[in-house]
Amino acid sequence: MYFKDIIGQENIKRRLIEESKEGRIPHAQLLTGPEGCGKLPLAIAYARYICCSHPGESDACGICPSCKMFNKLTHPDLHFIFPVVKKKGKDTIVCDDYISEWRNFILKNPYFSFNAWLNEMGAENQQAIIYSKESNEIIRKLSLKSSQGGYKVMIIWQAEKMNVECANKLLKLLEEPPEKTVFLLTTENPDMLLQTIQSRAQRINIPKIDNESIFKTLVVPPFGLGEEDARDIAHISNGNFIKTLESISINEQSQIYLDYFMRLMRLCYQRKVRDMKQWSEEVAGWGRERQKAFLIYCQRMIRENFMLNFHQSELNYLTGSERNFSSRFAPFVNEGNIIGIMNELSEAQSHIEQNVNPKMVFFDFSLKMIVLLINK
């Protein structure tokens, strides 16, 4: 991960590079911002730059021994701390028990969500945290002499997940850090960190990624999307590149959901009860998770159509095909029925989660939609 690989955030990159060139590298920095803005990729690119033997004007050299080790995230002076879950048969756990999975996961895609990491670990219902034992590992690692004679960098991802004991021991290190040691803490919830840690770290507020940067990323390889699709996805992403990637991966499934949503709304408006029953039986044949995802999609469509009535395009996140349908459908979703429709969708989702017969759930919902749409 180089600075050139970071999507957008030009001002932040420029600031980090200038501080490094001027020798003003704070020993503790808190990178905070919304999901998908690139906090972790920025931390890794910055760590590469300050560890590089011959950093350039705008990026690391890419050819020195340090950069080559960064290519696989195996640089001995680069350390990662991140939330983990206990493995079967082990009473205690530290990040290094997952370090191979962590490195491979980042190298595949440095823009990922907390839930994606939980799935990678197979967390199931376990709560991922940074355990108290990790503090001993941090102290041990930072007590070692720098392997390359430069900076030692400790990147703490999701820093707010630290156990209180671990956070308190980290506080002591932040007060008296070892020479040439840099802490890079990333978080989406800075207020959940100890105030004493916040006060000892230089805070860098990272904004959402601008739409133009996401658009430019999507129209070139490896994505290579058409300009219209790229514009739509960039707008829908709302500055969150994780959401961008999700939008690309579910685009085909979303089209199926849109087709079923449009079909139901038209059948309800036309009061074609027999066809509505057939529609319900088709959807009932899907798996439960897919049915839940469809109902969530329907809630989004109702919400977006309601917003479309306000004629505020910047507040609307419909794709091109969704917008074509919604331009005619939106007037049927308004102040008079929005709450009723959303309540019915929420109740249907709850019933599906409780294993109620899906044929009954979807047919009952469709019948109620006749009343809600007609009496708008």
54 and 192 together in one domain: yes
Reported confidence tier of residue 277, pLDDT bands at 50, 70, 90: very high
Q: Tell me the Ramachandran region of residue 124: left when phi exceeds 0, alpha when psi lies from -120 to 50, beta otherwise.
A: left
223 and 166 together in one domain: no
195 and 289 together in one domain: no
Q: Evaluate if pTM is beyond 0.85.
A: no
Token pair of 65, please?
Answer: 């021994």
35 has pLDDT over 60: yes
112 and 132 together in one domain: yes
For range 229-247, the mean pLDDT: 88
Least confident interval from 102-111, 118-127, 244-253? 244-253
Distance (Å, rounded) from C-alpha 246 to C-alpha 268?
31
pLDDT recorded at residue 25: 93
- Which residue, of 207, 237, 263, is where some domain finishes? 207
Residue 157: CATH number of its domain = 3.40.50.300
- Which residue, of 223, 248, 273, is where some domain finishes? 248
25 and 143 together in one domain: yes
Beta bridge partners of 186: 31
Secondary structure (DSSP) of 132-185: TTHHHHHHHHHHSPPSSSS-EEEEETTGGGB-HHHHHHHHHHHHSPPTTEEEEE
pLDDT recorded at residue 72: 95
Reported confidence tier of residue 26, pLDDT bands at 50, 70, 90: very high
Q: How many domains does the chain have?
A: 3
Distance (Å, rounded) from C-alpha 158 to C-alpha 188?
7
For range 340-364, the mean pLDDT: 93
Question: Coil, helix or strand for 287?
Answer: coil
- Range of 136's domain? 3-207
226 and 276 together in one domain: no
146 has pLDDT over 90: no
Reported confidence tier of residue 376, pLDDT bands at 50, 70, 90: low
Q: Give per-residue burial for 82-118: e unless 16+ CB within 10 Å, then b.
A: bbbbbeeeeeebbbeebbeebeebbeeebbbebeebb
100 and 63 together in one domain: yes
**Mean pLDDT, the chain, integer:** 90
